[in-house]
Amino acid sequence: MSLEEESPVCRHYRVAADMLGKRWTPQILRGLLSGVTRYTDLKEGVAPISDALLSDRLKELESLGIVRREVTPSTPVRIAYGLTAKGEDLAGVIGELAEWAERWAEEPATR
């Protein structure tokens, strides 16, 4: 079956996997599930991610409408990140995936 002929379920899965499957993205989302988080706290929770990569992933997630950036005009300026409704809707998916990994990640592969 070609990509043009694939079922809508496969097509939607592929879109979701492309959005969320990049390195560090699941850890960033997990870090934001507890609420609005400052950049530095998020970086500590996702260590050892580099500043450049964390910044890139946050920009990508913001452009996808999953993460929102909150700027507090103070001295110094405070920047925090939180999940949008679209991002909060991922909580169940992330929880289910974590439970699946806990059950099966350590199992040896069988044929």
pLDDT tens digit string along 33-79?
999 999 999 999 998 999 999 999 999 999 999 999 999 999 999 99
User: Where do the domains of the chain lie, and which CATH numbers do they carry?
Assistant: 24-104 (1.10.10.10)
Whether pLDDT at 20 is above 70? yes
> Looking at residues 18-47, what average pLDDT do you find?
93
Query: Of 27, 109, 43, 107, nearest to 80 (Cα)?
Result: 43
Q: pTM to 2 decimals?
A: 0.82
pLDDT tier, 12 (very low <50, low <70, confident <90, very high otherwise)? confident
